[in-house]
A and B are shown apart, each in its own frame.
Chain A
Amino acid sequence: DTGVSQDPRHKITKRGQNVTFRCDPISEHNRLYWYRQTLGQGPEFLTYFQNEAQLEKSRLLSDRFSAERPKGSFSTLEIQRTEQGDSAMYLCASSSGTGYQETQYFGPGTRLLVL
């Protein structure tokens, strides 16, 4: 499968615990995006990377959230001290970032439930 993959697909945690999600983009895609989606809503932008550089972070991304893309390939999103309001689907997308072909392809998402 050459699409975007995410791991885990589901995560249940208790309030206050830390969680980490992984995203593997389509090979050779330079840009990687994280979005969050709550029930009945469209995805909301969180942050994006151009290669290993994190170029923008949404105001939705509180200081409890951190994302990395250390080698310009896979990325991780960590949430510290989880709160019930963090329960959502976390989506990753990648694109070639060439300025010509900008289609973002999404992974299956990681569904987080904070109890």
Chain B
Amino acid sequence: GESVGLHLPTLSVQEGDNSIINCAYSNSASDYFIWYKQESGKGPQFIIDIRSNMDKRQGQRVTVLLNKTVKHLSLQIAATQPGDSAVYFCAEAQIYNQGGKLIFGQGTELSVKP
């Protein structure tokens, strides 16, 4: 079968360890950033978001860090669980200038070993 486009970056972690997924975004004018989790055959599921006037935001077991100087975004997952196994996408948007349409990054496949 065809395999074009299947070579996602992968991250493999042990259950209970912390995971860090990185993303470089492209547009310095972007003012809103969001992380999604996507399981096979399902739509993207919202995890956490952050606006450009912040550099850190925490949720339940997740933290997003934003470094505008180098246009870098990261997602930290504490105490990773097997249910966290999925593909993770970062996305950027310009809320006020472009209606909030999301520009997605490549995606990282997270595999959690029990």
Query: Which of the candidate stretches B3-11, B60-68, B69-77 sits at the interface with the other chain?
Result: B3-11
B102 at the interface (CB under 8 A from A): yes
Segment 1-39 of B: residues with Cβ below 8 Å from A: 4-8, 32, 34, 36
- B27 CB → nearest A CB, Å: 13
Residues of A within 8 A of B96 (CB): 99
Q: State which size class the interface on A falls in.
A: 20 to 34
Which of A39, A99, A106 contacts B43, CB < 8 Å?
A106
- B20 CB → nearest A CB, Å: 19
How many positions in chain B have a CB within 8 Å of any CB in the partner chain? 30
Q: Which residues of B contact A (CB under 8 A)?
A: 4-8, 32, 34, 36, 41-46, 49, 89, 91, 93, 95-96, 98-107
A108 at the interface (CB under 8 A from B): yes
Query: Which of the candidate stretches A13-21, A44-52, A75-83 sits at the interface with the other chain?
Result: A44-52
Can you list 5 A-B pairs with a CB-CB distance of less than 8 A?
A: A35-B102, A40-B5, A104-B100, A105-B46, A111-B41
Q: Are the C-beta atoms of B46 and A48 separated by less than 8 Å? A: no
- B106 CB → nearest A CB, Å: 6
Alpha-carbon gap, A99 to B107, bound state (A):
26
Segment 80-115 of A: residues with Cβ below 8 Å from B: 91, 93, 95, 97, 99, 102-109, 111
Alpha-carbon gap, A111 to B41, bound state (A):
9
